[in-house]
Chains A and B, each alone.
Chain A
Amino acid sequence: GAGVSQSPSNKVTEKGKDVELRCDPISGHTALYWYRQSLGQGLEFLIYFQGNSAPDKSGLPSDRFSAERTGGSVSTLTIQRTQQEDSAVYLCASSLDPYSNQPQHFGDGTRLSIL
Chain B
Amino acid sequence: SAVISQKPSRDICQRGTSLTIQCQVDSQVTMMFWYRQQPGQSLTLIATANQGSEATYESGFVIDKFPISRPNLTFSTLTVSNMSPEDSSIYLCSVSGNLNTGELFFGEGSRLTVL
Is chain B found bound to chain A in the same assembly? no
Residues of chain B at the chain A interface (Cβ within 8 Å): none
Residues of chain A at the chain B interface (Cβ within 8 Å): none
